[in-house]
Amino acid sequence: MSDVAGENWSRNIRYSAARLVAPRTVDELREVVAASDSVKALGSRHSFTRIADTSGTLVSTAELDLPVQVDAAQKRVRVGGGVRYGELAQELDRQGWALANLASLPHISVAGAVSTGTHGSGVANRSLAAAVTGLDLVTSTGDLVRISEEDEELAGAVVGLGALGIVTTVELAIEPTYDIAQTVYENVPLEAVRKAFDVIAGSAYSVSLFTTFRDEMYVDQVWRKERTDAAATPIPAALRDREAAGALHPLPGVSAASCTVQGGKAGRWLDRLPHFRLEFTPSNGEELQSEFLVPFADAVGAFDAVHELADRLKPVLQVCEVRTIAGDELWLSPSSGRDSVAFHFTWTADEAGVAEVLPELEAALARFDARPHWGKVFTPRDPAELYPRWADFVALQRRFDPRGAFVNDYLRALGL
């Protein structure tokens, strides 16, 4: 296997590409794509699967000369797909603008995140991909194609799995900048969370629950992120008198130095919505990740199903995070057509151990029509069972990539 492109962030994938290129202009990129039999875009290397792998040419778009362009009148921003969210956020805030939400890590690239349906949290907050109002991409014929919000196919192209082309520019909806105050609560009684999950999840702009299942009577932590420009929401009864005495990391015993500011101290949206700071490496990468999204109405049932597997999961589990996502209409978004709850599992780096328990977890969540995150570890199944527009996406992929240059083994396993 080639060492040209090296490894992904978690070092569980070594890319098999014959070459890695980083064009500086869109015209250079078009030439590279048109001349490559097999080609894929490489983002911030944060996928835990081979979704971005190829035996041919890997292309990094991080060096493309595409400046951030704010259209204040339309409340839109155009940004290069290879730019990291944390860098985009800094420029937006400098100009007095913001995004509606961010993922837990600001280190991920814009195109890679939206192409896999990555999200933050909040019952009224949709996935990052739902903020996309336009895309520019280079197809396998070397053509530069622009898709706008007036085009019906945008809903199929945004969460595109890298199967349609290489995204050069993403256009996103923006809003005036705002501040967030983040407060962490610990050792919250599990039964109280079960009885009032919807109240807790809706009690702030963004809410995340973390549990290790080490103490089965409690949820380890609840992170609430409140907008200071919104009416204050009462603290749920389950959280009262449980505010953490100091800053916490989601993992027990790990320093919180890399985490965003807690303790209810207000600050810029970009400094509070992520869990981790841009200037820190989020971890050593010694982990695997899986995530499954179920309908919001099934939150407690799915939590119970996971909890019943606690003894099986604990040997390979570092932490489980539970977040909420508002539904969208994007064809392959894991939250498409339904308000959702995401169960995110940060595993140890024990690939064999994770592979042993993963089928049990997937079987337990199958009755809730759980949809996996495209860039995290899961067992492939027929996407048509989970996504009503899958056949339309296949047709769209064939039209944009008639010679199959962007179809790799990962996509073939899904039926492309």
Q: What is the DSSP string of 367-411?
A: TTT-EE-TTS------GGGT-TTHHHHHHHHHHH-TT-TT--HHH
Per-residue pLDDT at 216: 85
> Is there a contact between 376 and 315 (Cβ–Cβ < 8 Å)?
no
141's CB contacts (< 8 A; 6+ apart) are: 34, 402, 403
186's CB contacts (< 8 A; 6+ apart) are: 220, 221, 222, 242, 244, 248
Q: Mind listing the pLDDT tens digit for each residue in 100-124?
A: 999 999 999 999 999 999 999 999 9
Q: Per-residue b/e over 32-57, b at no fewer than 16 CB within 10 Å?
A: bbeebebbbbbbbbbbbbbbbbbbbb
Average pLDDT over residues 117-141: 97
Average pLDDT over residues 326-340: 98
Average pLDDT over residues 76-102: 98
Longest dimension (CA), the chain: 63
Residue 197, H or E segment: helix 197-201
Per-residue pLDDT at 281: 74
Average pLDDT over residues 201-219: 95
Two tokens, residue 254: 């790990």
Per-residue pLDDT at 282: 64
Residues forming a β-bridge with 324: 341
Per-residue pLDDT at 283: 62
Calpha distance 75→175 (Å, rounded) = 6
Calpha distance 68→232 (Å, rounded) = 34
Average pLDDT over residues 279-299: 88
Residue 330, H or E segment: none
Q: Say what percent of the chain tops pLDDT 90.
A: 92
Per-residue pLDDT at 233: 87
Q: List % helix, strand, coil for the chain (3-state, nearest 5).
A: 25, 25, 50
Per-residue pLDDT at 268: 98
Average pLDDT over residues 286-315: 97
Task: Determine which of 126-135, 138-147, 210-219, 279-288 has the lowest per-residue pLDDT on average.
Answer: 279-288
Calpha distance 62→81 (Å, rounded) = 8
Average pLDDT over residues 30-37: 97
Per-residue pLDDT at 2: 60
Name the pLDDT band for 10 (thresholds 50, 70, 90): confident
DSSP, res 271: G
Average pLDDT over residues 217-241: 95
Average pLDDT over residues 54-75: 96
Please name each of the domains of the chain with its CATH number: 69-177 (3.30.465.10), 179-372 (3.30.70.2520)
Handedness of CA 86, 91, 94, 97 (dihedral sign): negative
Residue 295 above 90 pLDDT?
Answer: yes
Average pLDDT over residues 201-216: 95
**Considering the chain, what is the average pLDDT of its residues?**
96
Residue 126 above 70 pLDDT?
Answer: yes
Per-residue pLDDT at 11: 86
What backbone phi and psi angles, to 5 degrees, belong to 135? -140, 145
Average pLDDT over residues 218-243: 95
> Is there a contact between 206 and 298 (Cβ–Cβ < 8 Å)?
no
Per-residue pLDDT at 326: 98
Two tokens, residue 260: 């965003």
Question: Do the strands 288-295 and 371-372 form a parallel or antiparallel pair, or are they unpaired?
Answer: antiparallel
> Is there a contact between 180 and 205 (Cβ–Cβ < 8 Å)?
yes
Per-residue pLDDT at 370: 98
Dihedral of CA atoms 30, 36, 38, 39 in degrees, nearest 10, equals -30
> Is there a contact between 110 and 79 (Cβ–Cβ < 8 Å)?
yes
> Is there a contact between 108 and 88 (Cβ–Cβ < 8 Å)?
no
Residue 22 CB-density burial (10 A; 0-12 exposed, 13-18 middle, 19+ buried): middle
Name the pLDDT band for 284 (thresholds 50, 70, 90): low
Name the pLDDT band for 285 (thresholds 50, 70, 90): low
